[in-house]
Amino acid sequence: MRKKIVAGNWKMNLNLEEGISLAMSVDKYFKDKPLQKSSVILCTPFIHLPGVATVIKNGKVGLGAQNCASEPSGAFTGEISAAMIKSTGAEYVIVGHSERRSYYHEYDKLLNKKTTIALAEGLSVIFCCGEVREEREEKKHFDVVKRQMEAGLFSLTGKEMNKIIIAYEPVWAIGTGLTATPDQAQEMHGYIRGLLKIKYGNSVAEEMTILYGGSCKPSNAVELFSKPDVDGGLIGGASLKKEDFVAIAEAF
């Protein structure tokens, strides 16, 4: 059965105390809910990971980082390795977020390296893809997403793909208040699943969780998540408010 997931991406927000407090209240909310393990995930700043790991005690809320180094260890000042992330108790890492692609010039080959290393260290990867506004206007969005998938993921084996979650995030919808319509989201998610089917076969394609991200909020989550190939969301701004985040998770 394909897993439904709502993952929060806190980005560079909340100090340690605020982050721990938010994680505690999210964890408390889901304590008695009939929730599959890790169908709610919090992707926090690195420094929050060990503290948040100790307060998400119910085993229902999963924990992830927002980035990892492309090398396993060594003289890379300021970097955080996948193994370090894993050692905090986190099980997930976001790779290829559009903010990393654009502000830090993370390109396809590097993202493939990060993905490979994160998997080797035992993390699951939330792999982001998506086009910018001009690319959609020029009707290049399918080609862009295809290139990101092929270069970022398609060196992996079918078995490794079981540890991947894909997040389709049209860049023009991230943090802008603009949301892809449910039909636009479904169209791209169906396309992505089709690419997976051609490369890996039916089983990998059907089992793949494909999240939508981009100004998802309580008011549009139900409609987005009702689409057959939309298996949940990667939530930025709205994940910083417990009420909004849990309302989106409840939208399933």
* Binding residues for ligand PEP (CB under 6 A): 9, 169, 174-175, 213-216, 234-238
Centroid of chain to Cα 69? 17
Task: Say whether 75 sits in a helix, a strand or coil.
Answer: coil
Bridge-partner residues for 166, per DSSP? 127, 210
Specify whether 97 is catalytic: yes
Is 9 or 88 the residue whose CB approaches ligand PEP more closely?
9
Is 200 or 229 the residue whose CB approaches ligand PEP more closely?
229
Alpha carbon distance 159, 156 (integer Å): 8
- Residue 11 vs residues 46, 201, 222: alpha-carbon distances, Å: 10, 34, 24
Is 26 or 216 the residue whose CB approaches ligand PEP more closely?
216
- Minimum separation from the CB atom of position 145 to ligand PEP (A): 15
Is 88 or 179 the residue whose CB approaches ligand PEP more closely?
179
- Please check whether residue 152 is in contact with residue 133, taking contact to mean a CB–CB distance below 8 angstroms: no
Specify whether 207 is catalytic: no
Helix runs in the chain, H state only: 16-30, 49-55, 82-87, 98-103, 108-120, 133-137, 141-153, 158-161, 182-200, 202-207, 218-225, 242-249
Is 148 or 215 the residue whose CB approaches ligand PEP more closely?
215
**What backbone torsions phi and psi does residue 184 show, to the nearest 5 degrees?**
-65, -40
β 164-168/124-129 pair status? parallel
- Minimum separation from the CB atom of position 127 to ligand PEP (A): 12
Alpha carbon distance 59, 10 (integer Å): 20
Q: Which amino acid is at 189?
A: H
The set of residues, in sequence order, having a beta carbon less than 8 Å from that of 87 and lying 6+ positions away, is: none
- Minimum separation from the CB atom of position 95 to ligand PEP (A): 12
Alpha carbon distance 245, 94 (integer Å): 18
**Residue tagged active-site, from 48, 97, 141, 189:** 97
Is 71 or 252 the residue whose CB approaches ligand PEP more closely?
252
Task: Give catalytic residues, as residue numbers.
Answer: 97, 169
